[in-house]
Amino acid sequence: MSTAGGAHRPRAGTGHGVVEGRWEAGGTAVFRGVPYAAPPTGPLRFAAPRPPDAWEGVRDAGAFGPTAPKVPYPPAFAALLSDPEIPGEDCLTVNVWTPDPAPGARLPVMVWIHGGAHTRGSSAVPVYDGSAFARDGVVLVSFNFRLGVLGYGLFPDAPANRGLLDQIAALEWVRDNIAAFGGDPGRVTVFGESAGAISIGALLAAPRAAGLFARAVLQSGAPEALPRDQVRTMVRRMAARLRVPATARAFEGVGLHTLLAAQEAAMRRSSPVLGGPAFGLVIDPDTLPADPLEAAASSDVPLLMGWTAQEHRLWLAPTGGGRLLDRLGPLAVAYGQLRGGKDRAAVRALRAALPDLSPADLAGHLVTDRLLRDPLRRIAAAGRPAPSHLYEFRWPSGLPGLGACHALELGFVFDTLALPESAWLAGPDAPQALADEMHRAWVGYAATGDPGWAPWDGNGPPKVFDGPEPEAVRAEAVTPLVLP
């Protein structure tokens, strides 16, 4: 059941009931906050997702549902990355932007999985607005899933990788319901950035996700699984602070505010740059039985993968860490070599290719190679039965010091540069022509499997996305950016 015209609000029938969305600019029908699983509260807090209860009548789908419970970004990062918080624990919901909410439309579908180090982020981030995809003939779906200890805490009495199970449940909802919104369940492309891309790597290895999508896009995230002890340590830290056993049953009895405060304290001693205990995916016989990197290297799912030229700048510039590493000089380079698992020949080759790199950038580049670029190139060069397309995003932010940093490409992919939140990271006057090019490539990939350049054959550079250097970067030397 769908209503696709007139002054009435758009409606669509799902397997659990009818939802009513809103018509927005350009004739796009938008449905927000549609349940794909039951609220993960009480005894379901640490359980596998379960189907939502059916409803009678028409359910309003005019607003985003609650964001997954999470801790806020530290101030330096909150100034750059929008992460709204919508209170409530009924967070397992999807949102749909569609140009034609009619069952016969059979349009390509893109499903967005947000990033945030498995601990932050949501589908309500303004930069992730799906209007431009709908404008260009794609049904865009986004959703929330459990984060942090709720989604990835490792307990002896709860299923592992609950955030991944939520993602699979959302993709099952897409398979079963997206036709009612004008989408083709046989033409689903999943795409994600950072932890969202890491999640897609796990979906490629998860038996329960088989057949739920036809293509995948991994932006600035390589398939990985963390050692179980690394994840378990986070739970033990929290349990010690809460003075309860490190079990799901004990954590169920802790108030949400108290639980998140303990998680925030445990996370202060970890860093994506320095490593250490963290929340993330683990190998598990029931949910993730194979190594995600190995699974991606042999997968028959076509892949589009890439990175930004200076991923590390997001972690180093806002905190002043880049300035510190530059002062350390050779010690910083030695650390990057050790953390990146590189030999001296690799360091010499990088210096020869990029002679102007500072010690901080050299160390950051070496680590990023190990964590991101090397594994994605390995997947592309693995002789997979499906094509792999590679890209690099090189345009530098208009905020001096950030360069072509992690997450900068998002406003270009979604074609949301006009939103104020995009300028938080990109600065003023980001080139719309580059957004047009990049967004068009993602739309083309979803529609036909062709982003506009040839699959990578193991030789030569990846496709490069670049544009005019911002005025602020031209006007002054690139120096570490330190925000209050």
Q: Which residues are catalytic?
A: 194, 311, 406
Pairing of strands 22-24, 28-35: antiparallel
Q: Is 307 exposed, middle or buried (0-12, 13-18, 19+ CB in 10 A)?
A: buried
- Kindly report the number of other CB atoms within 10 A of residue 243's CB atom: 8
* N-term to C-term CA, the chain: 51
Burial of 207-227, coded b for 16+ CB within 10 Å and e otherwise, reads ebbeebbbbbbbbbbbbbbbe
35: phi then psi, degrees, rounded to nearest 5? -65, 135
Maximum C-alpha span of the chain: 67
Closest CA to 224 of 391, 370, 410, 46: 370
Q: How many angstroms separate the CA atoms of 246 and 160, rounded?
A: 14
Place of tokens 């090189």: 394
Q: Is 397 exposed, middle or buried (0-12, 13-18, 19+ CB in 10 A)?
A: buried
For 194: left if phi > 0, alpha if psi spans -120 to 50, otherwise beta; the answer is left
Pairing of strands 93-98, 28-35: antiparallel
How many helices (H) and strands (E) are present in the chain, helices listed first?
19, 13
13: phi then psi, degrees, rounded to nearest 5? -95, 130
Q: How many angstroms separate the CA atoms of 83 and 253, rounded?
A: 27
Which pair of structure tokens corresponds to residue 141?
A: 């779906």
CA atoms within 13 A on the CB side of 88: 12
Q: How many angstroms separate the CA atoms of 139 and 177, rounded?
A: 12
Which pair of structure tokens corresponds to residue 173?
A: 């909802």
Indicate the DSSP class of residue 43: G
